[in-house]
A and B are shown apart, each in its own frame.
Chain A
C-alpha cells in the first residue's frame, strides 16, 4: 500500500520517513553517549570483576600447574591400586621443583582442601626428600609416612588434575565428590554452611516480618496525620536513616550489654533477677533487634509513599456503605497498599540477606550470616575462590529477588525519602 501512495518529501528532496529515521538515530546516539561514561566505567570496574569472581570460583589451575608431570603420568593410572613407580618418580620431580621455588606450602594448603592430612605429610616429605637417593622413589616416598602408601591420598591428588572444578560450589552446600566420584553430603555435624544459609534466610525473613509489622502502623499514621505533625514524626524515621550504620550498631551494643540499659530495665520491673541477666548480645537476639531497627526506615518509606496517595474518602465510602472500620480497612485500604508492602519487604529482605557489619558486631557465633563467612574466607583463610563461589551463590539468590522486584514494582519506582 505504501509503495503506491506518493512519498512525502522534505524540502531537501529526501523522503520524510528517511529523514525522520536519521533524526531519530541521531537522538538515540546522543542519549547513549550521555549514559556511556558511567556505563563503561561500571562495566570495567564492577561488572567484569563480578565475572572474574565467576572465573575464580571454578578455576583450579594452581594445582594443575604445580604438578604437571604427575598428572601426565597419572593419565594411565586406573585409580584402583597404588600408582606405579612412574607416577611416584614424576611426583618427586615436580615436588623437588616446588621445594626449590618454596611453593610446597601452597601445594599442601591446596591438597588439604581436597583431603585432610596432607599438611603434615608434605612437611615430612620435604624434610625427607633432601636425603632421597636416585631411583625407586615409590619405596622412598612410601616410607616417609604411612599415608603416602594409602591409595586414598593418591586418588585425592588425582582429583585435582582438571583445570576447572565445581567443588567450591559443592563445598558451599556442604557436599563433596567422594572417592567413587559421587556427590555426597558431609557428615551431619560438619554441615556448617547449610546451617549458615538457613540461618541467613531465617534471619532475613523474620527481620522482614518484624519490620513490616512495625512499619505498617507508623507509615499509616504518618500518611494520615496533618502535615505539620507528620513532618515532625518523619524525623524519627529519617534521622536513623541518615545516621551511620556503625553509630546505630554501637548504640545497640551499649543498650544490649549485660550491664546495659535494657537489662537494667528488665531487672527494674522485676522481669529477670539481677544475678541472672540474660545475654542479649553476641547471639541471634542481638542480630534480630539491631537489624530490625536499622532496616525499619527502608520499610516505612515505600509504605508511606504509597499510603500518601490513597484518598481518605475511600475509607469513608467503605464505611458509609455499611462496612465496619475493620472491614473497610481490610477490603479497601489494605489491598491498595500492597504495592508498597511488596516494595518494602523485598527491599528489606535483599538488604538483610547480605548483611555483614551488624551481625559481625552483635551477632556473636550464633548470629552471624553467610556474608560473615565470605569475609572470613577473603581475609583469614585467603581461600578467595571459595569466597567467590559463596558470593556468587548469594548473588544469584539476590538477583532472583531483584528480578521479582522489577516485575512487581519496577526498578525506576524506587523512591528515596
Chain B
C-alpha cells in the first residue's frame, strides 16, 4: 500500500504513524509466543534469560527439560498426552457426526423453528465456560459419569458441536442443491447421495469444523477441572496445575510442543479454507 506521489506531507506522516501502530499491535499479538521457544532450551532452572543465553553460549542451552518431559518419573505428561489425544479424537468424531447431520437439517429450507433451534445448538459456545462446567458436572455426577473418560468425551462433544454446526452450515449455504436432486433422479438413494455427492463437496467445512472441535477439546480446561479424576488428567490440567504451583521449564517444553501442534493445525485449517472458498466460487 504505497502512497500516491501527490500525498501531502502531513497525511504521509499520519500514514507512517498508522503503520507503526499496526506493527506494534502485530508484535503484541505474536511476540509473547516466541518467548517460550528459547526459554524451553534453557540449561538452568530459571525462567529468564541467563547471561550465557544472551551471549549465545552453546552451554547455556540444553534439551534437559524435553528429556524431563518425556522421561521424568514424577511427570505425568505421558499419561496426560495419551488421555488428551484419546478424549480429543473421540470428542471430535462425536461432534463431527452430530454436528454435520444437524447442519444438514438446519440448512434445509423446510426446517421449522430454525432460529430457536440454532440458538439452542450454538448456546454451549456462548454460555460462559464456568457455567457450562457447573451444569455438565451436575449432569455427569447424576449419571455416574464423573471422573470417567466417557463423561469428559460427552462434555467435549457438547462444547465442540457448535463449531461444527457453524462451519458446516456456512459451507452448505453455498451448496447447489440441484446436484443432489440430479443424483436422486439418476436413481441414487439418500444415503448414497450423501456419501458420494454431498459429503465430498462439503468436506472442507466438515474437516475445519472438526479441527475446531479437536482444538476445543484438546485445550479445554474449565470443564475438565470439574470432571476429571486422577486417571483422567489431561495436558491442560497438568499445565494448569503446573502454572499455579510452580512454573518449571518443563512446562515451557510442553508449551513449545503445543505451539508446534497449533501451527500444524493452523496450516491445515488455512489450506482447507482456501480450498472451500475456491469450491464455493465455482458453484456461484
Instruction: Spell out A's residues near B (CB within 8 Å).
Output: 24, 27-28, 30-39, 41-50, 52-53, 56, 214-215, 217-218, 221, 224-226, 233, 235-240, 242-255, 257, 259-261, 264, 293, 296-297, 325, 350, 353-357, 360-361, 371, 374-375, 378-379, 384, 387-388, 391-392, 394-395, 398, 402, 406, 411-412, 414-417
Contact = CB atoms under 8 A, between A and B. Distances in A.
Given A239-B33, A374-B130, A35 B106 contact: yes
Interface in B244-268: 244, 247, 251-252, 255, 258-259, 262-263, 265-266
Contacts of A238: 266, 269-270
Interface stretch (B55-63, B68-76, B109-117): B109-117
Given A244-B258, A402-B126, 11 more contacts: A27-B110, A31-B108, A38-B161, A49-B135, A236-B26, A246-B221, A248-B32, A251-B255, A357-B221, A384-B138, A416-B167
Interface stretch (B96-104, B178-186, B196-204): B96-104
A218 B121 contact: no
Contacts of B259: 243, 247
Contacts of A34: 101-102, 104-106, 108
Interface string B204-236: 000010001001001101100110000000001
A31 B128 contact: no
B35 interface: yes
B255 to A, nearest CB: 4
B240 A246 contact: yes
Given A357-B240, A378-B134, A350 B111 contact: no
Contact of A39 (B121, B243, B251): B121
A261 B212 CA distance: 33
Contacts of A36: 105
Contacts of B191: none
B48 interface: yes
A43 B116 CA distance: 13
B98 A37 contact: yes
Q: With a 10 A CB-CB cut-off, give which of B135, B157, B269 has the most chain A CB atoms.
A: B135
17 contacts: A36-B105, A37-B98, A49-B138, A52-B135, A242-B262, A242-B263, A245-B219, A246-B243, A253-B247, A257-B47, A260-B47, A296-B29, A297-B29, A356-B130, A378-B133, A392-B131, A414-B122
B128 A357 contact: no
Q: With a 10 A CB-CB cut-off, give which of A31, A43, A245 has the most chain B CB atoms.
A: A31
Contacts of A226: 1
B29 A236 contact: yes
A379 B225 CA distance: 10
Given A35-B111, A45-B139, A242 B269 contact: yes
Interface string B124-166: 1011111111111111000000000000001001100101011
A219 to B, nearest CB: 10
Given A28-B110, A240-B29, A243-B259, A49 B136 contact: yes
B266 A242 contact: yes
Contacts of A218: 22, 25-26
Given A34-B105, A246-B239, A255 B25 contact: no
Interface residues of B, number: 90
A220 to B, nearest CB: 8
B136 A46 contact: yes
B39 interface: yes
A314 to B, nearest CB: 16
A35 B158 contact: no
Nearest to B125: A414
B92 interface: no
B89 interface: no
A360 B244 CA distance: 9
A374 B134 contact: yes
A387 B137 CA distance: 12
B98 A252 contact: no
Contacts of A244: 218-219, 236, 239, 255, 258, 262
Interface in B27-84: 28-30, 32-33, 35-36, 39, 47-49
B279 to A, nearest CB: 16
B134 A387 contact: yes
B273 interface: yes
A46 B98 contact: no
Nearest to A233: B26
Contact of B135 (A39, A50, A255, A414): A50
A-B complex: 3 closest residue pairs judged by Cβ atoms: A354-B128, A34-B105, A31-B108
B169 A239 contact: no
Contacts of B32: 248, 251-252, 255, 293
Contacts of A293: 28-29, 32
A32 B112 contact: yes
Contacts of A297: 29
A253 B245 CA distance: 13
A247 B36 contact: yes
A250 B129 contact: no
A236 B22 CA distance: 12
Given A217-B18, A361-B243, A412-B169, A254 B102 contact: no
A52 B138 contact: yes
Contacts of B104: 34
Contacts of B273: 417
Q: With a 10 A CB-CB cut-off, give which of B29, B133, B169 has the most chain A CB atoms.
A: B29
B247 A250 contact: yes
B212 A416 contact: yes
B123 interface: yes
B154 A45 contact: yes
A356 B166 contact: no
A239 B219 contact: no
Contact of B29 (A48, A237, A245, A387): A237
